[in-house]
Amino acid sequence: MNRDRLNALADEFRALQDDIVAGVENVEAQHGGSTFVEDAWTRPGGGGGRTRVLTSGKVWERGGVNFSEVEGEASPGLKAQMNTQADRFWAAEVSLVLHPKNPHVPIVHMNVRHFALSDWTSWFGGDVDLT
């Protein structure tokens, strides 16, 4: 794992979270609505994140836009599933769920993530859907 590359990816994911939150808050501000509340957290095994939640908005009834970056020792189960001898893992993601007040507007869910192992195996993944 190239630490500089992983740090740069984490910075991009943090910026994505910031941009999404700013966009949602901008729409809320135009309607006299709410802002997000942040809860920063740490993971005992390594890493942490920022959970941001909006409640009682004028446009969005409720929403969460979250960032996490975690790392640690690769478990035996992970090694078996991935067919690897990598001893460490690293993962970062941004995820969101936004529930609009208007019942005719769909709920949006999105997740984008990057996972890396110390043997240089890595991949991006994610999805977005409207419900």
Give per-residue pLDDT as tens, 58-78. Answer: 999 999 999 999 999 999 999
Please list the residues that pair with 61 across neighbouring strands: none
Q: Report the candidate in 101, 113, 130, 118 with the shortest Cα–Cα distance to residue 34.
A: 101
CA distance 16 to 96: 11
- Kindly report the CA angle at 12 between 10 and 15, in degrees rounded to 5? 110
Q: Give pLDDT tens digits for 74-105.
A: 999 999 998 999 999 999 999 999 999 999 99
E strand or H helix that includes residue 123: strand 122-130
Please spell the DSSP secondary structure of 4-35, one letter per residue.
HHHHHHHHHHHHHHHHHHHHHHHHHHHTT---
Task: Give catalytic residues, as residue numbers.
Answer: 109
Q: Rounded to two decimals, what is the model's pTM?
A: 0.93
pLDDT of res. 110: 98
